[in-house]
A and B are shown apart, each in its own frame.
Chain A
Amino acid sequence: MVAAESSDFVDGYVARSSAAVSKLGKILDPMCDSLYRSSIFIAFVINGWMPIWMFAIIVWRDLTVSYLREIAELQSETLSARMSGKLKAIVQGAAQIALVAMVGIYGVESFAPFSVTAQGILLIATAVTLYSLFDYVGGVAQKIMRHT
C-alpha cells in the first residue's frame, strides 16, 4: 500500500520531468486512484472495519467527479485536479495505511474496528471526501453557469 501511494507521486513527477504529460495520462491517473482506493475500502467494509455509509460517500464522490469530468468537457473545459482532490487522495491513502498498520500492530483478532481511533481516522477521510465532492460540484456548476 505504501508502494501504491508512492507511485501516485512518482507517476506525476516522472511524467513532468520527462515531458511525457499527456491527455490520456491526465485521465488515467485520477481514474486509477479511484479504482485502487475503492478496492481497499470495500475490503474494509467486507471485514467489518468500515460502515457502509462511509463507503457510500466515497463511492458517490468518485462517481460524481467522473461524470463532472465528462460534463466539463461539454463546455470544452478540462476538469483539472483541484486542491480538494489532492487533499482527499492524501488523507484517504494515509487513513488506509494507518488502519492496516493498526491491524498489524494489534493483530487481526485484537483489532477493535469501532475504537475511537479507527473510526476517527475513517471519519476524517470521509469528511475530506465529502468536502471534495462539494468543492468539485461547486467548481463545475460555476463553469456551467458562466457558459449559460
Chain B
Amino acid sequence: MNKLFTTPNLVSLGRALLGPLVLMLLLADSFYALLLALVIVSIAIASDFFDGHLARRNESADELGRYVDGACDVIFNLGVFLGFLAIGWLPASWFLAIYFTEIIVPYAGAFSKQIGQPFEIRWSTKLKMVIHPAAQFVMLVMALTMTGPTAAGDTMLGIAILGAAVLASVAFLVDHVVLVFLRTTRPV
C-alpha cells in the first residue's frame, strides 16, 4: 500500500523545503550565507541516502516513495540552480536546459504509464542524481575556498562542472524521450 506520510517521505519533503532556503542564502551574497548554503546542500545529499536507507530498513519502500523522493530531489536541485542563475554562475540557457528536462520527463512518464509501460529507474536517472548534487557541492566549495563567490562561475573548472550537470540533464531527457518514442511506435 502506498502511504504518503511515512518517515522517509517526510524526510524527502523536508529536503524539498530546503531548496528555497538555499536560494535565499545564495542571494544574500556573503561568505557565511555561502557556507550555510554548502552545509544545507551537504545535509540534502546525506538525507537523500538516508531516506532510501530508512525506507528499505522499515520495509516502507514503495512506488509512491520513489516518486516523492525523485520529485523532492528535483525541487531542491532547481532551488540551488536558480540560485546559481541569480548570482551569475549558470547562464539562462543552461538553466532552461535543466529546467525543461525536469518538466518534460515527468510528463513523458505520466504518458508512458497511461499506455501501460511505466518508466523503470534508468542509467540516465542515476547519472543525473549523482552529477547534480556533486556539481552543486563542488561549486560551493570552490567559491568558498578558491575563487570567491563572484568568479566561481567564470573559471574553467566551474564551467566544466556546470556543463557536466547540463549534459547529465540532456542525457536524461534524450534517454527518456527516445524510450517513449520507441514504446509508442513499437508497442510491446
In the bound complex, how far is the Cα of B74 from the Cα of A111, in angstroms? Answer: 35
Using a Cβ–Cβ cut-off of 8 Å, how many residues does chain B contribute to the interface with A?
40
In the bound complex, how far is the Cα of B71 from the Cα of A52, in angstroms? Answer: 21
Interface assignment of B27: CB less than 8 Å from any CB of chain A: yes
In the bound complex, how far is the Cα of B4 from the Cα of A71, in angstroms? Answer: 11
What would 17 more interface pairs be, CB under 8 Å, given A74-B63, A147-B2?
A28-B107, A42-B92, A42-B96, A45-B92, A52-B86, A56-B23, A60-B79, A62-B103, A63-B75, A63-B102, A66-B106, A67-B70, A70-B107, A71-B67, A73-B109, A141-B4, A148-B3
Contacts of B27 in A (CB 8 A): 52
* Closest 9 pairs between A and B when the two form their complex, measured CB to CB: A67-B71, A73-B113, A66-B106, A31-B107, A69-B110, A70-B109, A52-B86, A70-B106, A27-B111
Q: Cβ of B82 and Cβ of A55 under 8 Å apart? A: yes
Set A56, A64, A147, A148: member contacting B20, Cβ < 8 A: A56
Interface bits B84-120 vs A (CB < 8 Å: 1, else 0): 0110000010011001101110111111011100100
Q: Cβ of B1 and Cβ of A67 under 8 Å apart? A: no
Give, as a whole number of angstroms, the nearest-CB distance from A53 to chain B.
8
Residues of B within 8 A of A (CB): 1-4, 19-20, 23, 27, 63-64, 67-68, 70-71, 74-75, 78-79, 82, 85-86, 92, 95-96, 99-100, 102-104, 106-111, 113-115, 118, 184
